[in-house]
Amino acid sequence: MNKIIDIETFNTFINSNSLILVVAKTNNCGVCDVVLSKVEQLLEKYPNIKSSQIIIDEVPEFAGQYVVFTAPTILLLVDGKEILRESRFINFSELDNKIKRIDELY
């Protein structure tokens, strides 16, 4: 999973990929680390989805631009538009079903 270090890098990442999953997390967040690990395992089934992680403490512009108020937050973007958002308590079974449907459409 790519680590995004600034908003320009993220914008380039969006423009070069049509199906993106982003995990927004904070530093020193144990829950965020577990969610990131589970998302990485989940995405092994979906090679069409490009992924990245953003530490919102280090890239506050992302939090402002995408209205991320809590961590962890998972965003799924298609052609730069948000179509799925999950935050805090994430049901990975439901997330897998949603991602599967979206991946099949694209």
**Domains in the chain, CATH or no CATH each:** 2-105 (3.40.30.10)
The per-residue pLDDT for 106 is 81
The per-residue pLDDT for 95 is 95
pLDDT interval class at 1 (50, 70, 90)? confident
Question: Could you tell me which residues come within 8 angstroms of residue 57 by beta carbon, excluding any fewer than 6 positions away?
Answer: 26, 27
Six-digit token pair at 24?
């927004």
Asked if pLDDT for residue 83 goes beyond 90, the answer is: yes
The per-residue pLDDT for 46 is 95
Its pTM stands at 0.92
List the beta strands (DSSP E) in 13-96. Answer: 19-25, 50-55, 73-78, 81-87
Asked if pLDDT for residue 81 goes beyond 90, the answer is: yes
Average pLDDT, the chain: 94
The per-residue pLDDT for 88 is 87
Question: Could you tell me which residues come within 8 angstroms of residue 98 by beta carbon, excluding any fewer than 6 positions away?
Answer: 76, 84
